[in-house]
Chain A
């Protein structure tokens, strides 16, 4: 069974204090790993897709990396507006022509001014 574990569950940072969020996954074969940002009461907002170990993607203060067993979301010099829950999801090769995602429980990030 596919599993996604995110850590920490919650993270409080001071503005400008860089850190990383972790996503560990167990899947028979990985088609893609996805990062989403979710604000309270809103739908998840797509951030990145990673397909193979060693791949990196960046967007503003966020950088996502992928290894064979985990992914990291690095946040550089965060601002209060980066506060949100960050969700990691995997899409297994075994899903075939279907493309459903298996999500982790998320990391709730709070950036204090």
Chain B
């Protein structure tokens, strides 16, 4: 158990809908990262937050957004969902903005029908 929690474990929804994925980092970790894992793309970095502020953006679509709250939990919002958004979404956390090791949560499996 990495100490990173994610909810829900599974999410099934329809095209065009909006969903919110939630992540709680390890106790004391200030950085949260979101990654998407699909069969054809592998693990892709989406976005990083550090202590409530956005620090880096990767291959994140404009339909996706995220935020980190004062209690350090983070939410990833996915809107206007398409079939191709079906994937595993992972959250990872690290101790500080300069810490290198990232610890991953169990993931949320999103299925868009």
Residues of A within 8 A of B (CB): 31-32, 34, 36, 41-46, 49, 87, 89, 91, 95, 97-106
Contact = CB atoms under 8 A, between A and B. Distances in A.
B106 A100 contact: no
A103 B42 contact: yes
A30 to B, nearest CB: 11
A106 B43 CA distance: 10
B101 interface: yes
Contacts, number: 68
Contact of B106 (A43, A102, A106): A43
Q: How large is the interface on B (under 10, 10 to 19, 20 to 34, 35 or more residues)?
A: 20 to 34
Residue of B4, B56, B88 most packed against chain A (CB within 10 A): B56
Given A41-B109, A45-B2, A104-B42, A99 B100 contact: yes
B42 A105 contact: yes
A40 to B, nearest CB: 11
A98 B48 contact: yes
B102 A99 contact: yes
A72 to B, nearest CB: 20
Interface of B: 2, 4, 31, 33, 42-45, 48, 50, 55-56, 58, 88, 90, 92, 94, 97-107, 109
A91 B31 CA distance: 15
Contacts of A101: 33, 43, 45, 102
Given A41-B109, A43-B90, A87-B43, A99 B97 contact: yes
B90 A97 contact: no
A74 B68 CA distance: 38
A44 B109 CA distance: 14
A23 B56 CA distance: 25
A99 B99 contact: yes
A43 B107 contact: yes
A30 B29 CA distance: 23
Nearest to A97: B97
Given A45-B2, A104-B42, A105-B42, A97 B98 contact: yes
Contact of A98 (B2, B4, B56): B56
